[in-house]
């Protein structure tokens, strides 16, 4: 038995003990799948439980001044904060977009090159969730907007985690774009495979290559078939035609919304990027924030209107860092002045059992959010350096 | 893209008699076959004789694509050194080199440089009118690089990181000076005077740090491992002195003992190489940019691109563009199946593999395209 499984067993025992003795204000509850999670100890009523999380890294560098400092820009996020918990003092690390966003998912602030295009060394939230909760790959998705670099968030090269615990990662703009759709239209969609041909195909694949490949084949087949089907269907849904300054972000958010409704994953991560247009255009940046708020609002509505999701889904939204205090010579906003506008951002958390209309003025960190998301679902990010977000629960 | 598979985890499946190849001068004795089909026969072949595996791997490492049918016909059993000489002297070598540099700088998709200065790079390198250092300098001075890395902080950070291999978090002072230069203020940046954004680039690209960073990056790209320390610094020194020597260095690397070790390993095929491979292996030609880019971009949009790779393989097979024989046209199913393995996997098929394919072809619903699809979506096709 590994140290980890020991630890989980201890947690389970703790859960049972907590339930039996009703200790303190907080107990640990299990949901029948061996998961443990912190829930308010409520008498009689069933404690609200988080079964799914939507985690939106509003990356690209977004200041509080243009979000909760200008509520007209973010009516949906404001409503979410009014019904959830707002953290106006989230401390960030200026590590460049790639490093800072990576740290949101790993819970560890670590320097990375701005254009590094490689997996990180620390496990991500997605790996913790899959490993701790025994989730399938199709339960954990990440949609992104920033091209190939961002697909590195799906898993790390950590020897105890890594690709076998990775998330399905889709870059909205990379796949659902005009050129790719046209290419598919030119070539003609692949014919649906008859069942007998599929069986033969599996048989041939099994007959080829090394033994390890056979296992790899079998494990990948179920997930691959699901992803294949999803991509081909999504290409007919109009995501490819989304336009505008935030088109990459809009696609990432649209894909996320569709995934949430279709597959109801345990974890749906979203990584945005278009706000970085701010380097050259303040107005464009504000427009991106407004449009992204609208698209986040659509996801929130989809959650609230789905009876299976409404009372069991938590949403976290936070930028990776802010931007400079002053405009640059192009009337844009860079990032690198070390100001509080850059170093502190505002994040919001909404979900069952979370506080309502609460503003937590204390300093927290952007790396704390993943800790709380994992905790809400019952996973423990053992290597993360963050801690649970303060005063999150009701 | 993606995590390089550690060499330790890669299977060593084929023996090339490398010790023999390295030890004997002139003509060495090498095994003629590979895999289960070996029968112990030997024949006289040149040192570094190209077999299917070596030819496929070298082509993918150097040109980002498998061998074309005519290259297989021409080069099998010939000397690797002659092949390297010819390949690295061609325009395609530099075209691929530019693609790899643009990818490294993430100057792709909307950020791909379309200015003449960058477009002319392969031609000029080929004609010897530009060296790789000057070529990188051009790339970094392109408007696309500026667009990709907007603002003083991002621009100077990326130049320091990507050109000189520095971690800016440990060089805050240098970063601040570089940012001042970027804004047009004079200063001493990395021991050199400058007062402009262009100076930031020039100082970095002409530094010894650039030579070291560039050479180790290129070595790692082609050999899939970090370079050995001592030789690396001597290669970097000679590159710094004369960047035109780059091609000779590449030839040295590709015939080194380290490369022979690399040939025993399997590494993941990048999405861009996969797209090229699919076209070369099925259509016998490279894709046009208009064909390749949307596929590559879409594949890069997935953390695990295997499902979409399958879709693309099927797309091409079903498109009517690939000449797939009907079952009736196959005079010998076994021979046809055997011909696919060197072409797609760079090795001979084993007896059991051929049995499995022939057995499947006996089923009425199994078509030759089913077999092709099975091979192209098999994990082995996605490594090299
Ligand atoms: Zn930026």
The mean pLDDT values, 10 residues at a time, for chain B of 384 residues are 37 38 38 40 70 97 97 95 96 98 94 94 97 97 93 93 92 94 95 95 97 98 96 97 96 96 95 97 95 93 88 90 92 95 95 94 91 92 94
Q: How far is CA A335 from CA A96, A284, B111, in A?
A: 9, 16, 20
Q: How far is CA A319 from CA A62, B261, B277, in A?
A: 6, 45, 39
Coil, helix or strand for A236? coil
The 8-class DSSP code of residue B268 comes to B
The correct answer on CATH 1.20.1250.20 for the domain covering A51-186+244-377 is: no
Asked if B2 and A119 come within 8 Å (Cβ–Cβ), the reply is yes
| Token duo for residue A150 | 């961002």
3-state secondary structure string across B117-141: HHHCHHHHHHCCCCCHHHHHHHHHH
pLDDT value at position B45? 65
Q: What percentage of chain A exceeds 70 in pLDDT?
A: 84
- For testing the chain B interface, which of A124, A151, A173, A254 should be mutated: the one with the most B CBs within 10 Å? A151
B13 touches chain A (CB under 8 A): yes
List all residues 6 or more positions away from B286 whose beta carbon is below 8 Å from its beta carbon: B65, B276, B279, B280, B292
**Which of these, A52, A61, A37, lies nearest to A366 by C-alpha position?**
A61
Domain ranges of chain A: 51-186+244-377
pLDDT value at position A374? 97
A219 touches chain B (CB under 8 A): no
**pLDDT per position as a tens digit, A131-190:** 999 999 889 999 999 888 888 999 999 999 999 999 999 998 888 888 888 888 888 877
Alpha carbons B144 and B124: distance in angstroms, whole number: 20
Alpha carbons B359 and A203: distance in angstroms, whole number: 10
Torsion of CA A207, A212, A217, A218, to 10 degrees: 100
Alpha carbons B182 and B189: distance in angstroms, whole number: 11
Radius of gyration of chain A, Cα coordinates, nearest whole angstrom: 21
Question: Where does chain B show beta strands of DSSP type E?
Answer: 27-31, 42-46, 187-189, 192-194
Alpha carbons A64 and A87: distance in angstroms, whole number: 10
Long-range pairs, B42-48, Cβ under 8 A, ≥24: B45/B77, B46/B77, B46/B78, B46/B79, B47/B21, B47/B79, B47/B81, B48/B21, B48/B79, B48/B80, B48/B81, B48/B255
**pTM of full prediction above 0.95:** no
- Residue A171 phi/psi, 5° resolution? -95, 115
A173 touches chain B (CB under 8 A): yes
pLDDT value at position A23? 31
| Token duo for residue A71 | 């509520």
Query: β-strands A85-91, A140-144: how paired?
Result: unpaired
Ligand 1 centroid – CA A367 distance (Å): 19
**pLDDT per position as a tens digit, A274-317:** 999 999 999 999 999 999 999 999 999 999 999 999 999 999 99
- Residues A194-223: what's their mean pLDDT? 74
To 5 degrees, how large is the angle CA B287–CA B290–CA B294? 95
Chain B CB contacts of A213 below 8 Å: 378-380
What residue has token string 């899939």?
Answer: B224
**Which of these, A342, A341, A375, A358, lies nearest to A129 by C-alpha position?**
A375
A197 touches chain B (CB under 8 A): yes
Alpha carbons A104 and A56: distance in angstroms, whole number: 10
Question: Where does A92-241 show beta strands of DSSP type E?
Answer: 140-144, 168-171
Interface of B with A in 350-379 (CB under 8 A): 352-353, 355-357, 359-360, 363, 365-367, 370-371, 373-375, 377-379
The 8-class DSSP code of residue B329 comes to G
**Which of these, B281, B268, B276, B263, lies nearest to B341 by C-alpha position?**
B281
Q: Where residue A334 falls among pLDDT bands split at 50, 70, 90?
A: very high
Neighbours of B79 (CB within 10 A): 16
A260 alpha-carbon distance from chain centroid: 12
pLDDT value at position A7? 36
Q: How far is CA B278 from CA A104, A149, A183, B187, B381, in A?
A: 37, 24, 15, 51, 10
Alpha carbons A77 and A290: distance in angstroms, whole number: 10
pLDDT value at position B33? 36
pLDDT value at position A217? 61
Alpha carbons A127 and A133: distance in angstroms, whole number: 10
Ligand 1 centroid – CA B144 distance (Å): 15
Q: Where residue A22 falls among pLDDT bands split at 50, 70, 90?
A: very low
Length of chain A: 394
What sign for the dihedral angle of Cα A302, A306, A310, A316? negative
**pLDDT per position as a tens digit, A37-77:** 444 434 445 556 999 999 999 999 999 999 999 999 999 99
**pLDDT per position as a tens digit, A232-259:** 888 877 788 888 888 999 999 999 999 9
Exposure string of A364-388, with b = 16+ CB inside 10 Å and e = fewer, is: bbbbbbbbbbbbbbbbbbeebbbeb
A323 touches chain B (CB under 8 A): no
């Amino acid at each position: 038995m590994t140290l980890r499984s020991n630890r989980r067993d201890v947690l389970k025992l703790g859960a049972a003990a907590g339930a039996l003795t009703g200790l303190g204000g907080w107990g640990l509850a299990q949901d029948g799948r061996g998961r443990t999670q912190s829930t308010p100890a409520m008498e009689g009523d069933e404690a609200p439980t988080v079964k799914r999380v939507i985690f939106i890294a509003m990356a690209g560098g977004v200041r509080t001044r243009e979000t909760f400092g200008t509520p007209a820009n973010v009516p949906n996020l404001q409503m979410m904060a009014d019904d959830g918990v707002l953290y106006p003092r989230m401390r960030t690390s200026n590590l460049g977009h790639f490093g800072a966003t990576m740290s949101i998912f790993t819970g560890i602030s670590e320097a990375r090159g701005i254009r590094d295009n490689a997996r990180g060394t620390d496990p991500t939230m997605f790996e913790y969730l899959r490993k701790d909760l025994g989730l399938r790959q199709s339960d954990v998705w990440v949609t992104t907007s920033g091209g190939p670099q961002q697909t590195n968030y799906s898993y790390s090269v950590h020897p105890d985690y890594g690709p076998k615990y990775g998330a399905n990662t889709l870059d909205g703009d990379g796949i659902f774009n005009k050129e790719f759709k046209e290419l598919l239209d030119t070539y003609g969609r692949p014919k649906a495979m008859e069942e007998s041909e599929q069986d033969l195909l599996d048989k041939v694949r099994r007959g080829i290559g090394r033994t390890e490949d056979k296992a790899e084949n079998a494990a990948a087949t179920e997930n691959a078939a699901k992803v294949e089907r999803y991509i081909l269907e999504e290409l007919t849904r109009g995501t490819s035609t989304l336009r505008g300054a935030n088109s990459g972000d809009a696609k990432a958010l649209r894909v996320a919304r569709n995934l949430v409704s279709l597959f109801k994953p345990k974890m749906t991560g979203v990584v945005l990027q278009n706000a970085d247009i701010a380097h050259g255009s303040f107005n464009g940046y504000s427009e991106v924030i407004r449009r992204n708020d609208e698209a986040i609002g659509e996801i929130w509505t989809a959650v609230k209107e789905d009876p299976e999701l409404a009372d069991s889904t938590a949403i976290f939204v936070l930028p990776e860092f802010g931007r400079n205090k002053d405009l640059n010579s192009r009337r844009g906003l860079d990032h690198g002045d070390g100001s509080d506008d850059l170093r502190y951002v505002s994040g919001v958390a909404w979900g069952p059992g979370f506080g309502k209309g609460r503003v937590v003025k204390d300093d927290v960190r952007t790396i704390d959010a993943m800790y709380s998301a994992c905790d809400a679902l019952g996973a423990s990010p053992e290597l993360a350096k963050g801690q649970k977000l303060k005063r999150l629960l009701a | 893209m993606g995590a390089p598979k550690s060499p330790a985890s890669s299977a060593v499946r084929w023996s090339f008699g490398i010790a023999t190849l390295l030890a004997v001068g002139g003509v060495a004795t090498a095994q003629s076959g590979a895999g289960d089909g070996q029968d112990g026969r030997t024949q006289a072949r040149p040192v570094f004789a190209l077999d299917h595996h070596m030819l496929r791997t070298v082509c993918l490492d150097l040109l980002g694509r498998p061998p074309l049918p005519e290259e297989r016909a021409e080069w099998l059993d010939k000397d690797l050194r002659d092949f390297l000489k010819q390949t690295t002297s061609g325009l395609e070598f530099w075209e691929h080199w530019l693609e790899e540099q643009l990818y490294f700088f993430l100057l792709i998709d909307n950020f791909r440089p379309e200015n003449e200065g960058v477009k002319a790079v392969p031609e000029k390198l080929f004609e010897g009118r530009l060296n790789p250092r000057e070529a990188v300098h051009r790339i970094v001075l392109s408007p696309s690089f500026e667009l990709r890395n907007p603002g003083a902080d991002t621009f100077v950070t990326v130049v320091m990181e990507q050109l000189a291999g520095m971690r800016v978090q440990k060089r805050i002072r240098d970063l601040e000076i570089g940012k001042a230069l970027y804004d047009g203020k004079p200063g001493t940046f990395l021991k050199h005077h400058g007062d402009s954004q262009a100076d930031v680039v020039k100082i970095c690209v002409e530094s010894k740090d650039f030579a070291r960073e560039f050479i180790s990056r290129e070595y790692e790209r082609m050999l899939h491992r970090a370079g050995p320390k001592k030789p690396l610094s001597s290669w970097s020194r000679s590159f710094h002195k004369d960047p035109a020597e780059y091609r000779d260095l590449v030839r040295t690397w590709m015939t080194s003992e380290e490369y022979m070790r690399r040939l025993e390993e399997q590494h993941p095929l990048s999405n861009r190489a996969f797209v090229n491979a699919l076209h070369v292996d099925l259509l016998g030609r490279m894709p046009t940019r208009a064909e390749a880019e949307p596929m590559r971009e879409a594949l890069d949009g997935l953390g695990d691109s295997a499902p979409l790779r399958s879709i693309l393989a099927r797309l091409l097979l079903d498109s009517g563009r690939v000449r797939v024989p009907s079952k009736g046209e196959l005079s010998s199913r076994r021979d046809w199946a055997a011909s696919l393995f060197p072409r797609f996997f760079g090795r001979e098929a084993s007896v059991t593999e051929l049995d499995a394919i022939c057995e499947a072809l006996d089923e009425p619903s199994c078509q030759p395209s089913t077999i092709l699809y099975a091979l192209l979506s098999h994990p082995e096709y996605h490594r090299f």
